[in-house]
Structure 1
Amino acid sequence: MVEPILIDGRQAWLKHYRDGGSRLLSLGALKFVADKLGIDPLRPPPHHVGAGALDTEARRLGELAAQRVHVPEVIGRGRASLVLSDNGKSLASWLRNARDDAQCDQLVRLALEAMAKAHAQGAYLGQPLPRNMTYDGQRIGFIDFEEDPLEVMNLAQAQARDWLMFGYGVARYYEHRPEALQALMHEAMARDASDVQQQTHQVTGRLQRLAAVCNRLGAQVAPAGACATGAACGQHLQRADHRHAGDRLVQRRRPRRAASAAGMSRASSRGRPLAYAPVQTARAFHAYHRRSFFPAGRFCA
């Protein structure tokens, strides 16, 4: 739980770390699917709670600050809580309130540039979803580091996970302009290391092939396979996207409209790159989505 406090007239945040379930069963199932499909960047990291979550977040904040990533400063520590400096409003709130497409694109471009810069410093961000990113009018920042992907993957995989997480989280703001998001992400990812690009492409390529198989099975059969495999692949992204939804003073996002299978099929037949979900998560599988904004080979050396 996170609550706002004032220290010498300045806003700060008191974050409490409570004991809770370890989610061993669900995380084990997700790991099994990720291993079977060979999509290492989507392997779920351990879900820390209580003192474990506090220690992990404090350590990660220190590491990222040393890598010149804009993260909250730890200005106090208790037995089960941290006092964190304010990083600005969430990027999600900025995107929801963007006055037009141009402002939305500018915010996303700033976020992508901040991610690319962090990667160049050897950093990885864990859950760079819009609700876990901030903007104070000058700098993009990052919050929420209770999990550490490097516990279950290498650095290139963790950085690829950053792109996948961000693309998944921001796609909802580009439902009617997927090509614009594709161009923005292509520009940013082109500056990242080739092994990171390769890891990102590997995930999307394998899930695209699985989506194509589901599509060929037809509308009557595909949902079963899509739900079984796609939901498992996407669950930890959706869990991260909605986890602790009531813990921060951030409004819940507007419900997204479900895409029809016919509509997605028509768009795919025109060859248009769709940006509903870059990693072909459960929602994409349900729509028998064949494409993402990481087209085959585009980002690979």
Structure 2
Amino acid sequence: MAATLVRRVEADGRVAWRKTYSDGGTRRRIAVLRWVARRLGANALLAPIPLGPAEACRTEQAMIRRLAALGAHVPTILHAGETELLLADLGPTLSQTCRDETNAEARAALVALGLQALLELHRRGGYLSQAFARNMTLRDGRVGFIDLEEDPATLMPLAAAQARDVLFYAHSTARFLADRPGAHAGLLAAHLAQESPAVRAEVSHTARRLAVLAPLARPFGARARAVAEALVSLRQAAG
């Protein structure tokens, strides 16, 4: 899989991001993850086939253009080279905004904004590369999508790619609502009720397969506990 180096620069007096792709050398890890996903029967967790630098750069350009055509908020491509992109700034990440927010109710509202953005994208037939909160931005109440160098639909159906968005987002946001028991699961349940039946079925199937891992993850630090919380939330939300 291609690795990326992202640097903050100025372009025409505005903040921009120069993204350079290189060989990441993580193919063995990806192969293991793909094997685990297949053993679990979880299509939505299949990792995309590793790409070289040039192909990852082309994939991100294609994903940006596809999402832009659907009306999604994505970076403008200011310049494109064979293994480098210059992208316009969309503001701070949703993950950082949640970390900076000290009010629990306000954090829940931020997590809900991300879910609403995913729902709107899915209704238009779109999906993301890795829908972690760190790959979403928030400025003036508008959610944007960044880091789009993977195309999950190259190896899974649309419903699985969209379910993957929900699963990744749930994993990356559970820790922000850890001080409000049940709040995360409630937001996910409300979201899933509005997704298509096919997406709900994919999330439910994967959540059931992963539920056994929740007790095993809790003893291994804050990040592992966040994973456990996400798994419990998904299981509760999926029914």
Structure 1 length as normaliser, TM-score? 0.72
For residues 100-139 of structure 1, the aligned pairs below 5 Å read 100-139=103-142
1:278 aligns with 2:219: no
SS in 2 for 1:294: helix
Change (3 A) 1:154 1:257: closer
The higher radius of gyration belongs to 1
Q: Which is helix-richer, 1 or 2?
A: 2
State the shift of 1:186 in Å. Answer: 1.4
Distance of 2:210 and 2:141 partners within structure 1: 37
Distance of 2:164 and 2:238 partners within structure 1: 18
Residues 181, 275 of structure 1: 8 Å contact kept? no
SS in 2 for 1:15: strand
* Structure 2 residues not aligned, in runs of 5+: none
Distance of 1:256 and 1:275 partners within structure 2: 9
Pairwise CA RMSD: 2.3
Counterpart residue number, 1:12: 16
1:201 aligns with 2:204: yes
1:50 to 42, 46, 53: 53
Residues 19, 49 of structure 1: 8 Å contact kept? yes
Counterpart residue number, 1:62: 65
Distance of 2:125 and 2:210 partners within structure 1: 27
Change (3 A) 1:177 1:59: same
Distance of 2:40 and 2:160 partners within structure 1: 15
Residues 44, 163 of structure 2: 8 Å contact kept? yes
The CA deviation string for residues 274-296 of structure 1, in whole angstroms up to 9 with x for no partner, is 984434xxxxxxxxxxx433327
SS in 1 for 2:234: coil
Counterpart residue number, 1:81: 84
* Structure 1 residues not aligned, in runs of 5+: 216-222, 227-254, 260-273, 280-290
For residues 241-252 of structure 1, the aligned pairs below 5 Å read none
Bigger shift: residues 41-50 or 138-147: 41-50
State the shift of 1:178 in Å. Answer: 3.5
2:222 to 252, 256, 267: 256
Which stretches of structure 1, 4 residues or longer, exceed 6 Å deviation after superposition?
A: none
Number of residue equivalences: 233
Change (3 A) 1:200 1:258: closer
Change (3 A) 1:187 1:296: closer
Amino acid at match of 2:51: H
Distance of 2:223 and 2:61 partners within structure 1: 38
SS in 1 for 2:78: strand
Residues 213, 228 of structure 2: 8 Å contact kept? no
The CA deviation string for residues 221-257 of structure 1, in whole angstroms up to 9 with x for no partner, is xx6xx8xxxxxxxxxxxxxxxxxxxxxxxxxxxx827
1:164 to 160, 163, 167: 167
Counterpart residue number, 1:295: 236
Distance of 1:2 and 1:31 partners within structure 2: 27
Residues 39, 203 of structure 1: 8 Å contact kept? yes
Amino acid at match of 2:14: R
Structure 2 length as normaliser, TM-score? 0.89
1:36 aligns with 2:39: yes
